[in-house]
Amino acid sequence: MAKQLPYRTMHEIFTRFHAAEPEPKGELNHVNAYTLVVAVALSAQATDAGVNKATEKLFQIADTPEKMLELGEEGLIEHIKTIGLFRNKAKNVIKLSRILVEDYGGEVPSSRAALQSLPGVGRKTANVVLNMWWHYPAQAVDTHIFRVGNRTGIAPGKDVDAVERAIEDNVPAEFQLHAHHWLILHGRYTCVARKPKCPACLIRDLCPFEEKTVEPAPKRPRAKKGQDLT
């Protein structure tokens, strides 16, 4: 675990993230707050691409909790059976849809506590919804953010709660709204788990990670018969 980076370094890192992508977006497709809740709940232990493929037709016919209840659990399973843990997820989506209809008038609540009271909705899911739909600077820590935070010193912590607090405490306020998206995207496409793409990293010079990867040496072309490459 790297040490927490100082303020000036943090400010420079997020200034670069902002310059590269001023308005980062989440990659889960949705059309309203309800479909966002469902998509994030389905994304646990699944890829965003896989969830998007499964929900493309689903959200055309079930974009409200009322319509989802009409579709029913078995109908929902037919749409999401390519996603891991689909049966349990289907049960949770139907349960949360019923709660939304009965207790919230069919609307998605806008508090973390209310969101977390829904079946299949944990703190990370609640934070994603708060951030993406209500533009609240909540920090949804996933495996990518946990890795990047600890590897770089941007937000070190022994568990996801500690990393979440580190982001809230150390990322300058003007970058808080998009911080978790920048970190997720950085972890997903650059600071990957096994072979981080350090040569392409825009914060390489600010990162204390000792095992940085380097550009592979160019392969020497093979000499053709009768050709001298010396």
Which of 81, 124, 195, 225 is catalytic? The answer is 124
- Report the interhelical angle of 33-42 vs 86-104 (nearest 10°): 150
Q: Is 124 a catalytic residue?
A: yes
**Angle at the Cα of 23 from the Cα atoms of 9 and 206, rounded to 5 degrees:** 20
Catalytic residue among 25, 95, 103, 142: 142
Respond yes or no: is residue 48 known to be catalytic.
Answer: no
Active site positions, annotated? 124, 142
